[in-house]
Amino acid sequence: MDKKITYKLTVRLFTEEKCFGPGVAMLLRRVQELHSLRAAAADLSMAYSKAWTILKNAERLMNCKLLISSAGGKHGGGATLTEEAVALLDAYDGFCRELNAFGEEIFEEKFGRFIEKL
C-alpha cells in the first residue's frame, strides 16, 4: 500500500461574506461552455434555483454583473458571461495557478523529508 502525503489549497474571496470561490468559478465555466445557467446547474447536479442564488449573491457582493441572460422562446434562451466575469474568472484561475505553484515549493521544502520516509 502506497502512502502519500498531500495537501489541498482552496481559494475563496471575501467581502463582508464569502463572494467567490471554486463553486462559483466552476458554475461560470459550465455556463461559458454550455451557454445556459439551467444546463450548467444540471451538469453540476445542482438545482437551477440554487445556481441562480449563488450567482446573484456573487454579483451583489462583487458589485458586478456576471451573466447576460436571454429569455427562451422560439430559438431558446441562453446565458453568456459578461466581460467582467471572464476577467474575474481569468484572474481567479491565474491566482490559483500561481498560489499552487508556490504551494508546491513550500510543501516540498517543509515536508520533503517526511515524504522521503514513506
Rounded mean pLDDT, 20-42? 96
Percent residues over pLDDT 90 in the chain: 79
Task: Spell out the alpha helix ranges (H) of the chain.
Answer: 22-34, 37-43, 48-62, 83-117
Whether 116 shows a pLDDT value over 90: the answer reads no
For residue range 63-107, list pLDDT tens digits in order. 999 999 887 655 667 899 999 999 999 999 999 999 999 999 999
CA atoms within 13 A on the CB side of 57: 17
The CATH number of 20-117 is: 1.10.10.10
What is the pTM for the complete model shown?
Answer: 0.85
Residue showing cell 466575469: 85
